[in-house]
Structure formats: C-alpha cells, structure tokens
Amino acid sequence: MTFRSGNPAVDRYITEDYESVRGMSSRFAATICAHVIRRQTDLGIAGHFAEIGTFEGRFFIAMALGLAPGERALGIDTFDWPDAGIVDRFHGHCARLGLAEDRVVAIKAAARDLTDGDVAQALGGPVRFWHIDGDHTPKSLTADLDLVVQSLHPQGILCLDDMLHPGYPLLIVAVHAWLARHPEMRILAVIDREDIVAAAKVMICRADAVDLYGQDLVDAFPAHHWKLGSDWGDYFAVVLTPNPRLAVVE
Ligand SMILES: C[S@@+](CC[C@H](N)C(=O)[O-])C[C@H]1O[C@@H](n2cnc3c(N)ncnc32)[C@H](O)[C@@H]1O
C-alpha cells in the first residue's frame, strides 16, 4: 500500500519538494495531517489552517495545499531565526510551490503578543486545523493553547509538535494541565516520530468530534496503526507510527 494523504497536490509536494523547504516536521506526520484536512473537507468541515512556528513553511505548505477554495493559511512566527531573510524565503517557497498570494497570511510576531482578535482579523473565520510548533517552553505552549482554542472550529483539530520529545519533556506536562482545564477536549491521536528532529505530534479535538476522525485514521493507515493505543487515563487515543511493532520477549 502506498502511504499518502489522498490529495494529489499535497502528495506531490510531500514526495517531490518537501526537502526543498527547510524544516523539522516529518513527512510521516505531514501525510497523516493532510489526510485529516482532506477528511474535514469531505465531512463539510470548512475553515482555515493556522500555525504558530512556521519557519520556512515546510509543514505549512503541505497543509495549505490541502485547503478548499476560499480557505486561507496563516503563519505566525517571529521570523527572525536564523536570520532576517526567513520571511522572504517563506513567501518564496509558498509562491514557488503553487500557493497563490491571497491564500497565505503571515504575522511576524511572538504568539504570546497576539490576541484572538488578531487571528480573527487575519482570517475572518474559524480555524479547522491549528499546528502549534513555536516556543517550546511549558509557559508558552500553555499560552499558545489558550490563544488558539478560541478560534478553533467546533469540529477542528489542534496539532502539537515535539510532544514526548527527549529535549522537551515538560511540554507534555503542560498539555496534561491544559486538558484538565478543558475537559471538553481529548487527545485524538499520537503520531510517532521519524527521528530526534522530526519528533512526535499529538492531535487534540473536542470529545464529541473524536468519532469523526479516530476510526477513519485507523482505516486509512492500517499498516501504521499501533494496536495497543495511547493510554490517557480515562480513554485511549490512536497511535500511528512508521514501524508498528511490539518488543520481542524471548
Ligand atoms: C521548530 S521551528 C518550526 C518548524 C516548522 N513548523 C516545520 O515543521 O518545519 C520553530 C519556529 O518557531 C518560531 N518561534 C519561536 N518562538 C516563537 C513565538 N513565541 N511565537 C511564534 N513563533 C515562535 C521560531 O522562530 C521557529 O521558526
């Protein structure tokens, strides 16, 4: 079986051009997330894509190419690392890879300095898929979650990067604390790492939206489904991993 999102433009980008845009998210995660964007379109869940921590746009472009006509993609980044030329490289990649100028919005700012009003002004409607990949401290991640949940479509997805990463072990603690304050939200799925750079993501959605996505992910990617699931205490989430296997005990 070929591993793909099912959106030809996205799959072409991930296969042929992904490495031409510097970045950190894995092809594996981008393919699964693009599948979710396609599923949302099929279900009639309309809205924009937005990302905190866009860098040169590697993951951003994959998601933006999957949007429906009229939907836009917002990239929020300080756009100052590793140099001031990064915002021009971001826009250059978007144009080169087929994203029309009026479909891409960039905000050059630290996410902590933005309000939901800034997001609303940039996009003018709900976000159906948020990707959080900015400042990797628990305090910033909590602030980012508090910001993005305000514009999230009721059936939308929050996708968090670098979860369970050896370099950022406290991020998941912040996620647990945030979920305790948001009992309406659930971990939908854990998308495993490819390596130490392209690390794991989690997808979060409202508890009443889990059934829209969970079984579909299992059906779409059976060769990558780790059947034991992810134990979050009161419920299990889907685990998708490049190489599902169990330890061999002899
Ligand atoms: C790991 S990189 C993002 C990689 C990108 N999402 C990808 O998949 O290729 C992290 C980015 O977050 C940005 N960043 C760091 N702190 C931020 C903040 N407070 N607000 C917005 N962006 C931030 C950095 O400038 C950097 O471009």
> Tokens 């305000």 identify what position?
150
- Homologous superfamily in CATH for domain 8-240: Vaccinia Virus protein VP39 (3.40.50.150)
In this structure, what token pair is assigned to residue 129?
Answer: 């898929």
Summarize pLDDT for 132-182 with one digit per residue, the tens.
999 999 999 999 999 999 999 999 999 999 999 999 999 999 999 999 999
In this structure, what token pair is assigned to residue 79?
Answer: 């756009």
- Specify the ligand 1 atom closest to the Cα of 86: 27
Which residues, 6+ apart, have CB-to-CB distance to 96 below 8 Å? none
Locate the domains of the chain by residue range.
8-240
Which residues, 6+ apart, have CB-to-CB distance to 169 below 8 Å? none
- Determine if residue 79 is left, alpha or beta; phi over 0 gives left, psi from -120 to 50 gives alpha, anything else beta: left
Residue nearest to atom 19 of ligand 1 (CA): 110
4 pLDDT tier (thresholds 50, 70, 90): very high
Contact in structure between 87 and 108 (CB atoms under 8 Å): yes
Distance 200 CA to ligand 1 centre (A): 16
Residues with CB under 6 A from ligand 1: 23-25, 52-55, 58-59, 76-78, 81, 110-112, 133-135, 140
Other C-beta atoms closer than 10 Å to the C-beta of 173 total 11
